[in-house]
Amino acid sequence: MASLPHLRLLFFDVFGTSVVQREPVADELWLAAKDALDEQGLSLIDSEVRTKATQMTYEQWFELGGKWNESKDDFIRESKAKHGSVDWREVDLRRIESLRTLLAGRGLIKLNKKGQAEKGSLFYDVQLDHLGRVWHRLPPWPDTCRGLSLLNSKATMVALRNTYNDLLQSLVAHSKIPFTHVFSADMFDSFKPNPKVYLGASERLGVRPDESALVAAHLGDLQGAKACRFRTIYLNRPLEEKNPELQHEDIADLVIEEHEEGFITLAKLLGLAVGSS
């Protein structure tokens, strides 16, 4: 289309843009609690813990999942401020630690002095470790895989995310998302929105920034890419925008609204024949 000529690379953010994160996290927490109550019943879970867990609604688990994700953001901001860098593997480990803290604050688990879940808790360490890795097994949005399969005939499709590569490769393989390349921030010893990530990614593939575009559900990410002369495509995914104040800025070259079909709509707008699913 006229506003996005000569694109050779399409970079895609992953969490929230290519895969769903809010609902699957809440689903796992909700179902894990239900399973724990069914399996452990009256014998192992403390009566007060059991009462609190039984009274927790899905909406409350959804809210807890949101706070859990925000706690990761807090750690990243703190790490950037103190060290000017982020240990993305440590971020993954901190997710498990922050989940323990949140659940303990709700009275759903009891922690000993070592921070381990004690007898009477709703969840124990094995379950908490499994829940903490939910980010490795998030599902794609309904439009993601089909949309990317269509877009692969237009340009090279590249995942680009603030995380470490093992996690991203694992997630992409689990979700069967047809990216051509999978790039993570640790490959560039930096983090988005630092220009080193955007420019390093396009340079690694031998493509100029003005021949590249970033597709993301987060305007802060797009703002960083735009400063590097990338084209910018905003997907308005439900509950994903962290910086709504940026919606009045002239950041996105193209906007795909929440009610549209995400990556499939993008394929249509880039002139590809989509047909019926």
158 CB neighbour count, 10 Å cutoff? 21
Distance CA 12, CA 212 (A): 11
* Percent of the chain topping pLDDT 70: 96
* pLDDT, average across residues 139-143: 98
Q: Where are the beta strands (DSSP E) in 49-186?
A: 156-161, 181-184
pTM for the full predicted model: 0.92
Identify the pLDDT of residue 43: 65
Secondary structure of residue 44 in the 3-state scheme: helix
Q: Which residues pair with 159 in a beta bridge?
A: 12, 182
* pLDDT, average across residues 106-125: 93
Identify the pLDDT of residue 42: 54
pLDDT tens for residues 236-269?
999 999 899 999 999 999 999 999 999 999 999 9
pLDDT tens for residues 69-91?
988 888 888 888 887 778 888 88
Identify the pLDDT of residue 269: 92
Given CA atoms 155, 19, 76, 136 in this order, what sign does their dihedral have? Answer: negative
pLDDT tens for residues 24-74?
999 999 999 999 998 755 568 999 999 999 999 999 999 999 999 988 888
Identify the pLDDT of residue 277: 57
Mean pLDDT, all residues of the chain: 92
pLDDT at 101 over 50: yes
CB of 126 within 8 A of CB of 202? Answer: no
Domains and CATH numbers, the chain: 9-20+138-269 (3.40.50.1000), 22-136 (no CATH)
